[in-house]
């Protein structure tokens, strides 16, 4: 039975910046693990808010920080080609990996201030650009479980430039699940294999899921690429990951 939840928009203090974040949490008193939800290039839009709420109904306190706060406060958009081009610029040209990690840590630190949030390990989940950022976030000591959905450019880039994010694999301290659609032109199968090989090389606890017939964005029911079968299986895997790693 899904839990009743409360939602709110909160602000995270980050140096001289206030970062907006969408918070969802169970109404029933208890002690719950915290989950960071990492947006696509489209901002903390209705899809990301919906995912945040779904996670809260499963018994977690979930928070989705606005990753584009520095460059586009309040940015939220749809899925047109024009929207995609704007979002890509914000994600890859105007974001910096170090700032994204700092913002995610701010979200974790905020959750630690809530009396009903467990302090001994957090999870994160991200989609598209957020799937890439989730791979980065997995290197944070507080993150014990990561679900990375179709994170493009992990093998050959990092936000703002620098060594590709895959070079940080050795710094991952928790368990990582990665989800890919095999029809995703933006993430060739060879890159998926490269990510899996790197996780194996450094003995990172992981699973890599490859969905035949699924395209980029297959988890989002607002996109034409939505694949109900792949999305349903991936959701079950995510629930299993978080339960095993965070509900101990």
Task: Retrieve residue 246's tokens.
Answer: 């965070």
Tell me, yes or no, if 103 is annotated catalytic.
Answer: no
Set 124, 184, 215, 220: catalytic member? 184
Query: CB of 157 within 8 A of CB of 168?
Result: no
128 a catalytic residue: yes
Of 103, 128, 142, 215, catalytic: 128
Q: Is there a catalytic annotation at residue 216?
A: yes
* SS3 annotation, 18-66: EEEEEEEEECCCCCEEEEEEECECCECCHHHHHHHHHHHHCCCEEEEEC
C-beta separation of 185 from 217 below 8 A:
no
Q: Which of 47, 132, 206, 216 is catalytic?
A: 216
Q: Which residues are catalytic?
A: 128, 184, 216
């Amino acid at each position: 039975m899904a839990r009743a939840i409360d939602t709110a928009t909160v602000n995270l203090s980050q140096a001289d910046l206030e970062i907006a974040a969408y918070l969802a949490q169970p109404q029933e008193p208890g002690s719950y693990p915290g989950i960071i939800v990492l947006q696509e290039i489209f901002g903390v839009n209705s899809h990301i808010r919906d995912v945040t709420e779904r996670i809260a109904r499963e018994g977690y306190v979930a928070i989705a920080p606005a990753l584009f706060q520095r460059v586009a406060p309040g940015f939220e958009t749809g899925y047109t080609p024009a929207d995609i081009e704007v979002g890509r610029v914000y994600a890859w040209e105007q974001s910096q990996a170090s700032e994204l990690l700092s913002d995610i840590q701010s979200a974790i630190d905020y959750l630690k201030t809530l009396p009903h949030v467990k302090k001994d390990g957090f999870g994160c989940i991200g989609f598209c650009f957020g799937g890439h950022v989730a791979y980065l976030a997995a290197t944070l000591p507080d993150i014990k479980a990561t679900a990375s959905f179709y994170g493009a450019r992990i093998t050959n880039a990092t936000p703002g430039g620098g060594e590709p994010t895959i070079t940080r694999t050795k710094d991952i301290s928790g368990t990582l699940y990665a989800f890919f659609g095999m029809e995703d032109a933006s993430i060739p199968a060879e890159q998926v294999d490269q990510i899996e090989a790197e996780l194996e090389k450094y003995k990172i606890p992981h699973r890599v899921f490859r969905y035949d017939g699924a395209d980029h964005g297959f988890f989002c029911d607002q996109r034409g690429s939505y694949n109900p079968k792949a999305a349903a299986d991936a959701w079950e895997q995510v629930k299993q990951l978080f339960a095993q790693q965070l509900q101990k």
